[in-house]
Structure 1
Amino acid sequence: MRFTVDRDLELFAESVRAALAGWEAPLEPVFGEWQDDRDDVLAARLAAAGWEDLGADPALLGALVAGGVELGRAVAPLSLLDEATLGAPLRVGDRARHGEDRVAGMREATLDGVGTLRGVASAPSYEPVRLEAWGAATLAYLAGLASESVDRAVEHAKSREQFGRPLAALPAVQARLADAALARDGLLLCAWSAASAGSGLAADELAWAGGACCEVTAHVHQVHGAVGFALEGGVHRFHRRAKTVQVWIDAVLRELH
């Protein structure tokens, strides 16, 4: 599916890509240890592109989605979503993510470098406009994760040969890629719909999106075969981040309802 995006939004997405150029998410986790993938230099580059100015203005949700897709493609730090939309680290119950410099709490080991803190003060009541922006940006981030994952799987399937022909020619591989692409398109539609609706947090879409993105990355793992599960391949980053985002979405929705 092709999506037609206004030229102004395409230009903003290009500026976000330029800010992300040369930055790469950590390849290997340190299981069971505190991790934090925040990057002050990257945050400053995105701020110069206008990223931090988007969360408080409903008229800028389109730009937020355009940039959020690019952040997802790069598996960029989730703190960039929270700071730009909520104006602070995301806090749910007695936990916060990426908040050590702004929220007091005990470091909690994670599997995905999200720097989770526990034992923090009660979560604040976010302004509806900022919560809506967070939801749209999160949907866009998941769409970006799915999009980059599918692109990598398609490239791998075209270049890798099995049984004397490219993987992409095998019906089973084609079916997995089709299912992944369908879910990817659904995520993109949800993100752009949230940007155009402007009617509050897209709770139903968010409830579906986390699992859908995980399904996409699972298909991508299978298309890559054994290399898809090797740390040096890099595909695992997309699945780990998708699962992390899903967990936080579920926590936010439980907190709100």
Structure 2
Amino acid sequence: MRFTIEPELELFAESVRGALAGWEAPVEPVFGEWQDDRDDALGARLAAIGWGELWSDPDLLGPAVAGGVELGRACAPLCLIDEATLGVPLAIDGRVRHGDGRAEGGDREPTLDGTGTLRGVASAPSVPSDPTRLRAWGAVTLAYLAGLADGALEKAVEHARSREQFGAPLAALPAVQAHLADAAMARDGLLLSSWSAADPETGFPRDSLAWAGSACREVTAHVQQVHGGIGFALEGGVHRYYRRAKTVQVWTDALLREFS
């Protein structure tokens, strides 16, 4: 399914793509070690196009969602979402996502993905109660997950069309087509949920977020199946989407439990 967005939103999405041009997420994790994919130069380029100002006005949720999708496609650092919308790193139950280890303190915690998580932060802020910030965070997180799913699926389609097996492209095999179809359906659902959350009347998208993390992880799992063993090889980069989707899911589920 193709989604047509308003021209001004497409222009902002294009600006975000321009800011992301030349930036590439780290491919190889260092398992068991603390990591942080924060990139100050990338943050500055996004700030120059007004990325950090979109949380303050509910009418700007459309551009925020358009930009969030692009950040997800690029597997961009999660601090770009948290600090732009919440104003601070996301903190839940003494853990801080994307803490840089300087201002927040605490112990550096090895994680599944390079999110720079700190644990045991006594002064960690609680989940923000500002409804405008929370609504923006929820909408952009949905958009980020949709972008992750879309970027991963794009890689799978490209791989299935270019690689041959049994004398035909992988895309001609019914099993591969089924994986791609299931992934596309979930991806479309994520995109629709994102644009629905951009409506200032929607409020905090609790129900969509409760589903979105597992849906995005499901897409990335289908993508890995299409790639076969290559999907688990660090050189290909497909693993980044699965790890990032799972990381976002874990943090989103934890935040939703704070509201239960």
TM-score by length of 1: 0.98
Stretch deviating more after TM superposition (67-76 or 108-117): 108-117
> For residue 103 of structure 1, what is the aligned residue in structure 2?
104
Distance 2:103 2:54 in 1: 21
Structure 1 residue corresponding to 2:164, chosen from 161, 164, 181: 161
Aligned residues of 1:43 and 1:80 also touching (Cα < 8 A): yes
Distance 1:210 1:112 in 2: 15
Query: Are positions 1:250 and 2:253 aligned together?
Result: yes
How many Å apart are 1:199 and its aligned residue? 3.2
Query: Are positions 1:131 and 2:134 aligned together?
Result: yes
Distance 1:64 1:106 in 2: 32
Q: Which amino acid aligns with 1:109?
A: P
Distance 1:199 1:238 in 2: 28
Query: Are positions 1:94 and 2:103 aligned together?
Result: no
How many Å apart are 1:197 and its aligned residue? 4.6
Query: Are positions 1:216 and 2:219 aligned together?
Result: yes
How many Å apart are 1:198 and its aligned residue? 3.2
How many Å apart are 1:255 and its aligned residue? 1.0
How many Å apart are 1:102 and its aligned residue? 3.4
Q: Which amino acid aligns with 2:164?
A: E
> For residue 14 of structure 2, what is the aligned residue in structure 1?
14
SS of the counterpart of 1:196?
A: coil
> For residue 173 of structure 1, what is the aligned residue in structure 2?
176
Q: Which amino acid aligns with 2:135?
A: E
User: How many residue pairs align between the two structures?
Assistant: 257
Structure 2 residue corresponding to 1:235, chosen from 226, 238, 246: 238
> For residue 41 of structure 1, what is the aligned residue in structure 2?
41
Distance 2:189 2:27 in 1: 28
SS of the counterpart of 2:96?
A: strand
Distance 1:184 1:156 in 2: 18
How many Å apart are 1:98 and its aligned residue? 1.1
Distance 2:195 2:203 in 1: 14
SS of the counterpart of 2:118?
A: strand
Aligned residues of 1:93 and 1:123 also touching (Cα < 8 A): no
Query: Are positions 1:152 and 2:160 aligned together?
Result: no
Q: Which runs of 5+ in 1 are unaligned?
A: none
> For residue 55 of structure 1, what is the aligned residue in structure 2?
55
Q: Calculate the aligned-residue CA RMSD, in Å.
A: 1.0
Aligned residues of 2:92 and 2:127 also touching (Cα < 8 A): no
Query: For residues 125 and 155 of structure 1, do their structure 2 counterparts lie closer, same or farther at Cα, with a shift above 3 Å needed?
Result: closer
> For residue 32 of structure 2, what is the aligned residue in structure 1?
32
Aligned residues of 1:30 and 1:111 also touching (Cα < 8 A): no
Structure 1 residue corresponding to 2:210, chosen from 207, 210, 214: 207
Q: Deviations over 1:181-215 (max 9, x none)?
A: 00000000000000015332101100100000000
Q: Deviations over 1:94-115 (max 9, x none)?
A: 1011123432221111121100
Stretch deviating more after TM superposition (10-19 or 123-132): 123-132
Aligned residues of 2:58 and 2:200 also touching (Cα < 8 A): no
SS of the counterpart of 1:4?
A: coil
Distance 1:184 1:231 in 2: 24
SS of the counterpart of 1:75?
A: coil
Distance 1:159 1:88 in 2: 43
Distance 1:246 1:10 in 2: 27
Distance 2:127 2:35 in 1: 27
Distance 1:123 1:200 in 2: 22
Q: Which runs of 5+ in 2 are unaligned?
A: none
How many Å apart are 1:122 and its aligned residue? 4.8
How many Å apart are 1:3 and its aligned residue? 1.1
> For residue 3 of structure 1, what is the aligned residue in structure 2?
3
